[in-house]
Amino acid sequence: MLPLFLQNGLGRSALQAGFAMLPFALAMLIFPHIGRLLERHISSSGILAGGLSCVAIGNGITAWGAYVGSWIIVMAGMVVIGSGGGLLNGETQKAIMSVVPKERSGMASGISTTSRFSGILLGFAMLSGILATMVRKWVAAFGCGTGCHHPSDFADAIVAGDLPSAISGLEGSNQEIAIQHAHHAFSYGFAVALLVASIFALGSSITVFTLMQSKMKQNIT
């Protein structure tokens, strides 16, 4: 959802949004290697919980940046999200495979991959629904600018990422005001969606750490 926000919330072009994703991508690339170094001093449960906590913090920072419209804060949050995601990508599969017998490794790998992709789809659907609801709520409260006579259609176009349709028929200053409203509405919806994601990631961090520590104690016993 980050590229959508960079274009529809901050008004960047598709090319600019692609370049702006580089800090996130580089962090995702580097931190699996850092995770391997951390394994010497931190347990798998600690790395996974730490990764989820980084994602939660990064989501919160990015949500704040989106809400206040700060490019620098958004970029900082994206780096933190990528760092946490990199830790998770490097450790998740290994943690799963370590708790099943070798003869069931293929089954475990399949279940792991299916679960992760299902989670991505469910998460995207849930957060997209929150974003759409909040965008419509913002437009209902603040309107779509001077000369815009169909706020509901305006909100639907923003949710779909179709800014040209949202400002269709508007000219001059009316068009500029409508574009500003569109960016503010999308940024507001995105900020709320990321805040929910942050809370969910923090809860997941606590749950994962607690369950894995409990399992380790049972194995020791």
For the whole model, what pTM was predicted?
0.88
* Residue 10 DSSP symbol: T
Q: Is 153 helix (H, G, I), strand (E, B) or coil?
A: helix
106, burial (CB in 10 Å: exposed 0-12, middle 13-18, buried 19+): exposed
| Whole-number Å distance between alpha carbons of 185 and 198 | 20
Q: Decide: 62 and 194 in contact? Cβ < 8 Å.
A: yes
pLDDT for the residue numbered 130: 96
| Whole-number Å distance between alpha carbons of 159 and 129 | 10
DSSP class per residue in 68-87: HT-HHHHHHHHHHHHHHHHH
Q: What is the mean pLDDT of each run of 10 residues along the chain (221 residues)?
A: 90 89 92 85 88 95 94 94 90 78 80 86 93 94 82 88 82 86 94 96 93 73 56
- Contacts (Cβ under 8 Å, ≥6 apart) of 56: 84, 198, 199, 201, 202, 205
